[in-house]
Amino acid sequence: MDKRNSTRFIKIDERSLSGLSADLASNQTSSRDLVAHYQKRIARLDCAGPNLRSVIELNPDAISIAIELDGERQNGRLRGPIHGIPILIKDNIATHDRMETTAGSLALVGCKPHDDAFIVKQLRIAGAVVLGKTNMTEWSNGRSFQSSSGWSGRGGLTRNPYVLDRSASGSSSGSAVAVSANLCAAAIGTETDGSIIGPASVCGIVGLKPTVGLLSRRGIIPLSHSLDTPGPMARSVMDCALLLDALTGLDQWDPAMMSGTSRFSTTYAKSIEQDSLKGARLGVARQFFGSHDAVQKAYQPVLSILRDAGAILIDPVTIPQLETVRMAKRTVLLHEMKAGINNYLNGLGSKCSIHCLADLIAFNARNSAREMAYFGQDIFELSQAKGPLTSPEYLDALEMCRHVARVEGIEKTMHKYKLDAFVAPTSGPAWSIDLLLGDRSNSGSSLLAAAAGTPSITVPAARIQGLPLGLTFFGKRWEESKLMSLAANFERLTSSRKPPQFLSTIYA
């Protein structure tokens, strides 16, 4: 029997990107068979069985794209390490194909973008197969303070693959769940504040939120141009680095990219250093450890692992004015949301009946039975009431985020203690789903890096009653390589990633 191009003879689940690439190179499988494997697994676990509902739409052209990429490989054309590998992307990232781009909202069904998002173009150039779109907290959790993470009007509720009655967090819920449940090789999420690292943590995977301006946001449905960024989500740090390499590229139409053009690298995977924890000075941000005894206890062995690896822990370090940063970030978000959504919707043209945030609010009111069955649109309404981006309230808050969060918070504290990075729990364990009252999550550690526009990465670190906990490394702008090196060293020491078992509940 010819074993070539047959996934029966290799283990796909939990396989790394480099492992899949090697399998493709040695003819142990094909891109077409990888796509078929993931499609079947999605049908079995996402649409039936545990009913994860992490994938909102499959790409109807995925098989034909895979066949074309297989042909290129056979003819000696290799685009790179993710050539022919199936990747899922979040439903707020535009694709100019037969799929929708809706941010989970029924209002945008049929409103097709005029072009691929820049990072989708980068994926296609790198030879990835865009397998489909992932479900998400509708409008990137920007619609209501009472939202339930992972729910959208179009996609329904995404469930945590470890314990199905627990939240997958958000807003990149589907991307995190699909990666964790081995429904794809890796995925792309987006973050404004915690939307990559939060879901990654509670779903037991790695998530990287890059420096704002490292990756293009063009073609991504916006919440805040000061805070938004896409980022890779995968089962290992190295996979995130390989995906980051593919996504990176200068987009002159994204103003945030122009300030850091000399810092760009396309070799993040090669820049990960071995034994980077040895001698590294890590600030333990106790302000983000929460108050729950079980969570505090779970992270004590984590800190011991860092010490035993040779890291120097400065414990604790105190970051000033966190509440000031929190309120300033909220003001920035409310102002920029209206401006960004108006600009995006207006750019869809006459074929879309939703042209601005006011139209979107009206659509949701008319379709409240489907769109607002569980929570309203209070954030939308607050944003609609805000003034322009020239208002003193907005400009003062923007400066507050940049100065207090970045300069006084991250940069000054790191200089004071001579730190290489901060470490903190990413969040608590996944909380019980409550569509009536909304999220009841433990506070996470995403705020400071979000407001400052600096990078953070979460890696599986511990477990509570089978629920994953992540450890976040965060630091200064453009230091993705350093953070990934530290996280990769920790990952090698712990091997904390365990595949989910799709338990119905943790209760007896």
Q: What is the pLDDT of residues 389-419, one digit of tens each?
A: 999 999 999 999 999 999 999 999 999 999 9
Percent of the chain with pLDDT over 90: 93
Which pair of structure tokens corresponds to residue 272?
């990960």
**Beta carbons of 117 and 125 less than 8 angstroms apart:** no
Q: Is the pLDDT of residue 2 over 60?
A: no
Identify the H or E element spanning 132. strand 129-134
Q: Please report the pLDDT score of residue 441 as a whole number.
A: 75
CA pair distance 308, 323, nearest whole angstrom: 34
Among the listed residues 31, 90, 121, 485, the single catalytic one is 90
DSSP 411: I
The per-residue pLDDT for 283 is 98
Average pLDDT over residues 151-180: 98
- Please provide the average confidence, as pLDDT, over all residues in the chain: 95
Per DSSP, the three-state class of 459 is: strand
171 is catalytic: yes
Cβ atoms 434, 150 nearer than 8 A: no
Q: Which residues contact 477 (CB under 8 A, 6 or more apart)?
A: 211, 260, 406, 452, 453, 454, 455
Is residue 85 within 8 A of residue 71, CB to CB? The reply is no
pLDDT in tens, 10-20: 789 999 999 99
The predicted-structure confidence for 332-363, as pLDDT tens digits, reads as follows 999 999 999 999 999 999 889 999 999 999 99
Helix (H), strand (E) at residue 449? helix 447-452
pLDDT-derived band at 3 (thresholds 50, 70, 90) equals very low
Question: What is the predicted pLDDT for the residue at 9?
Answer: 58
Q: What's at 49, amino acid-wise?
A: G
Average pLDDT over residues 229-241: 98
Q: What is the mean pLDDT of residues 139-157?
A: 97
Bridge partners for 311 per DSSP: none
Q: Percentage of residues in the chain with pLDDT exceeding 70?
A: 96
Phi and psi, residue 229, nearest 5°: -160, 145
What is the average pLDDT across 31-52?
Answer: 97
Determine whether 156 is exposed, middle or buried from the number of CB atoms within 10 Å of its CB (0-12, 13-18, 19+).
middle
16 among known catalytic residues: no
Q: Are 122 and 220 in contact (CB under 8 A)?
A: no
pLDDT at position 399? 97
Q: Which amino acid is at 387?
A: G
229 pLDDT band, cuts 50/70/90, is very high
Average pLDDT over residues 439-445: 83
Superfamily of domain 7-277+426-494: Amidase signature (AS) domain (3.90.1300.10)
Q: Is 352 left (phi over 0), alpha (psi -120 to 50) or beta?
A: beta
Domain-by-domain residue ranges, the chain?
A: 7-277+426-494
Peptide bond into 316 cis (omega under 30): yes
Residue 32's pLDDT band, with cuts at 50, 70 and 90, is very high
Q: If pLDDT is split at 50, 70 and 90, which confidence band does 265 have?
A: low
Residues 6+ apart with CB under 8 A from 474: 410, 421, 422, 424, 445, 448, 449, 454, 455, 456, 457, 483
Span between the terminal Cα atoms of the chain, in Å: 47
From the candidates 54, 167, 171, 173, give the one annotated as an active-site residue: 171
Q: Among 245, 250, 294, 234, which Cα is nearest to 270's?
A: 245
Record the tokens describing residue 480, joined without a space: 């993705």
For residue range 182-196, list pLDDT tens digits in order: 999 999 999 999 999
Query: Predicted confidence band at 129 (pLDDT cuts at 50, 70, 90)?
Result: very high
CA 313 to mean position of chain CA atoms: 28
Catalytic residue among 21, 173, 195, 485: 195
